[in-house]
Amino acid sequence: MSLITGNGQRNVFLAHLAALFAVAVWGATFVSTKVLLEQGMNAVEIYIYRFLLAYLLLIPFTWRKIFANSFRDEMLFLLCGLTSGAIYFIAENTALMYTMAGNVSLITSISPLLTVLLIGAFYKSERPTKGVLFGSLIALLGVGCVVFNSGFSMQIKPLGDMLAMGAAFSWAFYCIILRKLNINYSALFITRKSFFYGIVTALPFMLFETHYTSPARFLEPDILWNMLFLGLIASLLCYFLWALAMKVVGTVKINNYMYLQPVFTLILAYFVLAERISVLGYTGCFLILLGLYLSEKLGRKRKM
């Protein structure tokens, strides 16, 4: 909890590091999830099991407070779980069944830009500066370069692309809702409530699955270690750090780190899967870092 107490500049620095770490881990989840899918697990059960593990481990730290302060806030937590969990992950994973991975990666990476635009629409006094928008667009261009690192193979496939766009909007709405809840609730409480409602709203999707993983298979190393990574690190730790970072720094600036997710995926794929990084990939990494720098520097005129 040291991110929200003590020296202000130190807290901001730690918040940025926390967001950077979370995005780096989320970039690695694509590889980890792919391993589980290759082991025969379906996308819905991977999501439910990873968040159920994280939720159960959170209960001992947050059991004293069960419900939100009001029915309205409880419904906001429901929306948090829906937008950051069931809708986002299931839409993203299902999109991969109907369109190319490059399409999904590129479309879902526009969520920081959507967050900036939605905040401007909902809060007239906090419309983004031209500098923030310019930096975001530069970073988005870099994301496109990283996605097309292996070649230009993007195709228009309406159903999958619409699902990916739905996932991007879902994450943007989650960040805006989280912005409201951060005022009155701790990051631990927010994380636990979001996980609970994310699991509950995803359960109906299990009815449409035709096969489920046998409990005995969870002792197999490939499944065990990847589920522990997804549940403990990518879900429990990273969602907690993300909520803390947004509380300290703000929604727009922290959400811009999402542009870095394809970069970390690219780097991990190079070391783990031996995938080549082209000149276009390096160019994309540079543009993303440049866009984040411009968004931060030019956006200081107006605190988000």
Map residue 300 onto helix, strand or coil: helix
pLDDT at 161 over 70: yes
In which band, very low, low, confident or very high, does the pLDDT at 304 lie, cut at 50, 70 and 90? very low
For residues 171 and 111, is the Cβ–Cβ distance under 8 A? yes
Domain containing residue 246: 2-301
What is the pTM (predicted TM-score) of this model?
A: 0.80
Q: Looking at the predicted structure, is the pLDDT value of residue 35 above 70?
A: yes
Of the candidates 254, 241, 107, the one whose C-alpha atom is nearest the C-alpha of residue 175 is 254
With 70 as the cut, is the pLDDT of residue 101 above it?
no
Contacts of 182 (CB under 8 A, 6+ apart): 190, 243, 246, 247
Tens of pLDDT, residue by residue over 180-227, are 898 899 989 999 999 999 999 999 888 888 888 888 999 999 999 999
Nearest Cα to Cα of residue 234 among 264, 204, 202: 264
The predicted-structure confidence for 40-84, as pLDDT tens digits, reads as follows 888 888 889 999 999 999 998 888 888 999 999 999 999 999 998
Whether 137 shows a pLDDT value over 90: the answer reads no
Q: Residue 206, Cβ neighbours under 10 Å: how many?
A: 12
Residue 5 has pLDDT above 60, yes or no: no
- In the chain, how many domains are there? 1
At residue 1, the pLDDT reads 47
CB 84 within 8 A of CB 171: yes
What is the Cα 198 distance to its own chain's centre? 14
Structure tokens at 111: 């969520």
pLDDT at 18: 95
Distance CA 181, CA 133 (A): 25
Rounded Cα distance between 16 and 260, Å, is 13
Residue 281 to residue 91: CA distance in whole angstroms: 26
pLDDT over 90 percentage in the chain = 30
Q: Which is more confident, 17 or 134?
A: 17
**Closest CA relative to residue 230, chosen from 35, 80, 5, 66:** 35
Alpha helices, DSSP H, located in the chain: 8-38, 43-62, 71-81, 87-98, 101-108, 111-122, 130-147, 158-181, 187-202, 221-228, 238-249, 251-255, 261-272, 279-298
